Amino acid sequence: DTAVSQTPKYLVTQMGNDKSIKCEQNLGHDTMYWYKQDSKKFLKIMFSYNNKELIINETVPNRFSPKSPDKAHLNLHINSLELGDSAVYFCASSQGTQGGYGYTFGSGTRLTVV
Amino acid sequence: AQSVAQPEDQVNVAEGNPLTVKCTYSVSGNPYLFWYVQYPNRGLQFLLKYITGDNLVKGSYGFEAEFNKSQTSFHLKKPSALVSDSALYFCAVRDMYGAGGFKTIFGAGTRLFVKA
């Protein structure tokens, strides 16, 4: 019954590797997001998709590539991982695109690059 | 750009006492303001929002927030704190993105400790 589910929950990998994080929501929301939370708990938006269309693309290195096969799924692929990519990545979803609804967050993926 | 500030890194309160977690905002136009809570090793959970209407907004788990336009504040409150309220609290605001889009900007977070 999980509303927004992310896999994997933990990811430990070496520098230079490529990895993917998957996200699925069963709420029927139109919009999905990726946020990055750093070690100081600061949250920064990375991407947003509305009905499979990219609508927000913040200043994120192009090693990060989101993909939305349908409006219930938003995956994040990261190429050539660097130490600085270590963080917790959260997927979220909301209704509409006007920003008037609260977000539902997944439980996060803790990425550790060694 | 819109922004929110949470002036306290940490708030300590005794169980049963009222709690306040502070948030101030800087926006042009009418603000869309939110509060979220994050428990350890969990995602953020939406607590409440203010868009328009009554300045006192009630949310989940007995929390409420007061919108004060003159002081540009949106403080989170609870009449009687519980130990289980101990968590990280984020204030957030809707910001513009591009030509007509929106995104949510989060404050730095305030850690709440409720002592038994």
CA neighbor of B16 nearest in space, from B100, B88, B90, B83? B83
Residue B115: what pLDDT?
97
Q: Read off the pLDDT band of A35 (50, 70, 90).
A: very high
pLDDT at B44: 95
Shortest Cα distance, chain B CAs vs residue A96, angstroms? 10
* Sheet with A64-70, edge to edge strand ranges: A4-7, A19-25, A73-78, A64-70
Chain B positions in Cβ-Cβ contact with residue A99 (cut-off 8 Å): 32, 94, 102-104
Least confident of A7-21, B69-83, B89-103: B89-103
Amino acid B76: pLDDT: 98
| Residue among B46, B97, B98 minimizing CB distance to A104 | B46
CB atoms B41 and A107 under 8 Å: yes
- Does residue A10 contact residue A109 with C-beta atoms inside 8 Å? yes
| pLDDT at position A114 over 80 | yes
